[in-house]
A and B are shown apart, each in its own frame.
Chain A
Amino acid sequence: MAQAIDVQGKLRVGPSPHIRSKRTSAWVMDQVIIAMIPPVIAATYFFGWWVLGMIIISTTTAVASEYLYQKLTYKPTTIHDHSAALTGMLIGLSLPVTAPIWMIVFGSVFAIVIVKQLGGGIGRNYFNPAVAARVVTKAFFTPWLANWVLPGGLFGSGYRGVDAVATATPLEFIGDGMRVVPEGAVPDFFELFMGFNLGGNIGETSKLAILIGMLYLIFRRVINPKIPILFIVTTFVTMGLWSSFNFEFMMTHALTGTLFFGATYMATDYSSGSLTPEGKTVFAIGCGLLTAFFRITLDHPGGVGYSILIMNALAPFIDSKLMPRIYGHKSRPQTKFNRQSTNHI
């Protein structure tokens, strides 16, 4: 053999395909974490330095509880896939700046241990851990969470926004059967979009920041664009039908509450969402319709969270009804498959 490099006995063999895309699970999770940086920056700008403290607490707690749970139950640790960090960060961003530390810790532990790990671990949980934790926290600890404050600015607000001015969230004025926006009750569209003068959970105030994150995730092909777009548009249009197309009412609904945040970072979660292409469409539209329904009927915020959880529960059924038609076949596969059963590893 003439070639200088001797290869005899050194060549590896194996089944095709022989190349793999560069994308790894951790990379995918990292992209979502990167996409949450704009809301973190916006939140810090509006609500002060304590925002960073909240996010550090929620993220550290989430990673630590996943690690400890897996150690205690003799399971392989999966913190290196960065999904626990992602969940923790989401929880931090979905609480108000006034949330006490114990509540942040509770939210993260609940999300990771109860919802994610007891739900089967990565890729198996029926419910989005961050959304479930948020809804449960809200249900149990409303007194500590309902004291919304106006943003005090980067240096204007201290630990837990103590010096800030108490306010109400705009949803309290436009939900519960309302069909118009009461005069002067909510900030104007520009303020709602930018997040000025808006109380609420820290991550969801600036729609601009969320939009940047959403576009990043779409551009990176991490999320399917139809999920956030259909979610938001469905809520928008349904609110139009409800209010006889009162544009101000529709726009205010689109730009308030958790809609943008939930549609971008929560409804797009892989394991709790739909798997099939058509299932994703139904999932997103379902989230939008339910959000509109809850906003019309409830007198308190939280519709987006309930909607996502309900659609999470329905996703496996949607998927089993909407399995793609296989090439050359006349109908969809006639079978059921529970993908959420326990991990094999």
Chain B
Amino acid sequence: MHFSFMGKQGGSHPEENKSRTSKLPIVDASVPKIMVFPVAMHIGAPAKPVVEIGDQVKAGQIIAEEGGFVSAHVYSSVSGEVIGLEKRPTVGGEADSIIIKNDYQYTKADPIVEPGHSHEMSKDDILSTVRKAGIVGMGGATFPTAVKLSPPPGMTIDTLIINGAECEPYSTSDHRVMVEHADEIIDGINLSRKLFPQLKKIYIGIEDNKPDAIKKMKEAAAEFDDISVRPLKSMYPQGSEKNLIQNLAGREVPPGGLPAEVRCVVANTSTIRSVYRACEYGEPLIERIVSVSGTPVKEPKNLRVKIGTPMDSLIDDCGGFAEVPGKVFGGGPMMGKTVSDLGVPIIKGTTAVTVLTPEEAHIGEEQDCIMCAECIHVCPVSLQPILISEAFERGNIEKAKELGAMDCIECGNCSFICPSKIPLLENIRSAKAAIKQKEEK
């Protein structure tokens, strides 16, 4: 029983369903013949392809260059031949993609920087390496990391928060990265110290349902006084950036603002590890850890996946489906995006592939609101979701805005908890879109 006397909980408790994969060591995924690389696997401008059909590429060779300041390079994760430049289904709709036929030679391109010199790197060296490696937020947000790690001029950073909360049900990729690669995460943190000279405190926030990860991270961080591994109550969405800053640093990001405005930077565990590997080994971001789970999956696994691998190959690695899947999505069930085609590739921000049975994915029939106030109770940013939803349904966009629609972080708690199955988040999203449209006019 979860219980809050004041009636403000700020989170919900969906069934975690992590036990099928949380103890499984990471294993290599198989690499299929055809790999698909969308040029927009990050927030910001799509990358521009720099290869032509028929080109031979090496593993770790750049195939699309960043299309602007907020953008990221795309690298091939295999060696082979470029056989297509076309639109392909991706998580989040059709997108321009580079198709590469794997030659299974794994001929490696030169590292992006000379390996073994990360400790000698200056601030600018690190930032340029992160940019060169095409690293983006690997917790799912896919915001280019080099941009995130360079706060706007005039803003100082005194707190670095490493997000190991992994509050999405089923997902265990960050969990396994922390258990198996704690040292590389700490090395990444130590590298990033150079970026923030005023840094005073580093928090690693981990939900208390991962005691083994907490233990490993504590051991790895033991010799650094300013690194504090903080167990967090297991509650969705504990890993949201705004809530981590509130719970760990005791600060609140102003509306529409950046964490840097309250002197914080938040990075995912896998992202900070990739920063280290890029600087130390000269590795561009061409692989990541993906947990594959859900009732229909025969043998769920934590896989080391080459970016560009279609989802069906991962499902095959997990023994296929034991029963008919109803919904498959990239990410967890609370914020993940559905796919209609298993040919969709794993991209830099795919933390997990989650499969639900039709029954599990069933959303009951919508009924009238009974005013139970549960949506208000679980909202992590203290909105009143039902009121925003109703304001929108009555066509009162101005009211939806006054009630804070733009502050919604779209965690999905309100829709999840609603006993009347009202599509609260959908309505709030529509309200946000309408507000934006109105403001642009």
Contacts and interface: CB of A to CB of B under 8 A. Distances in A.
Contact of B416 (A10, A14, A20, A271): A20
A329 B402 CA distance: 12
A23 to B, nearest CB: 5
A3 B377 contact: no
Interface stretch (A54-62, A131-139, A330-338): A330-338
A16 B371 contact: no
Nearest to A3: B320
B372 A28 contact: yes
B383 interface: yes
B45 interface: no
A233 to B, nearest CB: 13
Nearest to A24: B419
Contacts of B254: 328
Given A18-B333, A219-B1, A344-B393, A333 B403 contact: yes
Nearest to B169: A19
Contact of A345 (B366, B376, B380): B366
Nearest to A271: B371
Interface stretch (A168-176, A241-249, A272-280, A302-310): A272-280
Contact of B326 (A3, A11, A123, A323): A11
A343 B368 CA distance: 7
B105 to A, nearest CB: 24
A18 B407 contact: no
Specify which of B320, B341, B368, B426 lies most central, judged by the most chain A CB atoms within 10 Å of its CB.
Answer: B368
Contacts of A19: 14, 169, 333-334, 356, 360-361, 416
Contacts of A12: 326-327, 338, 358, 361
B7 A277 contact: yes
A214 to B, nearest CB: 14
Given A327-B242, A337-B399, A122 B370 contact: yes
A180 B199 CA distance: 66
Interface string B244-282: 001000001111010000000000000000000000000
Nearest to A324: B382
B421 interface: yes
B173 interface: no
B419 A23 contact: yes
A336 B382 CA distance: 16
Interface string A227-255: 00000000000000000000000000000
Contacts of A15: 423, 425-426, 429
Contact of A21 (B2, B14, B383, B402): B14
A1 B412 CA distance: 33
Interface stretch (B149-157, B158-166, B214-222, B384-392): B384-392
Contacts of A225: 3, 5
Contacts of B370: 25, 28, 81, 83, 122-123, 270-271
Contacts of B327: 11-14, 18
A326 interface: yes
A24 B425 contact: no
Contact of A333 (B253, B364, B386, B402): B402
B12 A21 contact: yes
A224 interface: yes
B231 interface: no
B373 interface: yes
B368 A326 contact: no
Given A16-B337, A328-B255, A276 B384 contact: yes
Nearest to A276: B376
Nearest to A27: B419
Given A28-B419, A327-B246, A18 B361 contact: yes
A344 B390 contact: yes
A18 B403 contact: no
B340 A11 contact: yes
A126 to B, nearest CB: 11
Nearest to A23: B419
Contacts of B383: 324, 326
A25 B335 contact: no
Nearest to A230: B5
Contacts of B1: 219, 221
Interface residues of B, number: 86
A221 B373 CA distance: 12
A330 to B, nearest CB: 9
Interface string A23-51: 11101100000000000000000000000
Specify which of A8, A337, A344, A345 lies most central, judged by the most chain B CB atoms within 10 Å of its CB.
Answer: A337
Nearest to B255: A328
Contacts of A25: 367-368, 370, 372, 419-420
A13 B337 CA distance: 8
Contacts of A327: 242, 246, 252-253, 380-382, 407
Contacts of B412: 16-17
Specify which of A8, A328, A341 lies most central, judged by the most chain B CB atoms within 10 Å of its CB.
Answer: A328
B336 interface: yes
A121 interface: yes
A229 B366 CA distance: 33
B334 A17 contact: yes
Contacts of B362: 20
B321 A226 contact: no
A2 interface: yes
A121 B368 CA distance: 9
A260 to B, nearest CB: 19
Nearest to A330: B254
A13 B340 contact: yes
A297 interface: no
Given A11-B328, A12-B338, A20-B416, A329 B404 contact: yes
Contacts of A28: 370, 372, 419
A72 interface: no
A83 B371 CA distance: 13
A131 B383 CA distance: 30
B347 to A, nearest CB: 17
Interface string B7-20: 11000101000000
B286 interface: no
Nearest to B326: A12
B187 to A, nearest CB: 33
A266 to B, nearest CB: 15
B426 A275 contact: no
B431 interface: no
B329 interface: yes
Given A20-B418, A24-B420, A226-B5, 7 more contacts: A11-B325, A16-B425, A18-B329, A24-B364, A24-B367, A83-B370, A221-B1
11 contacts: A15-B426, A16-B329, A16-B410, A17-B333, A17-B415, A20-B364, A81-B367, A122-B368, A270-B370, A329-B255, A335-B399
6 A-B pairs with the lowest CB-CB distances in the bound complex, closest first: A17-B412, A3-B320, A327-B381, A335-B402, A277-B7, A324-B382
Interface of B: 1-3, 5-8, 12, 14, 169, 242, 246, 252-255, 257, 312, 315-316, 320-321, 323-329, 333-342, 356, 358, 360-364, 366-373, 376-377, 380-384, 386-387, 390-391, 393-394, 399, 402-404, 407, 410, 412-413, 415-421, 423, 425-426, 429
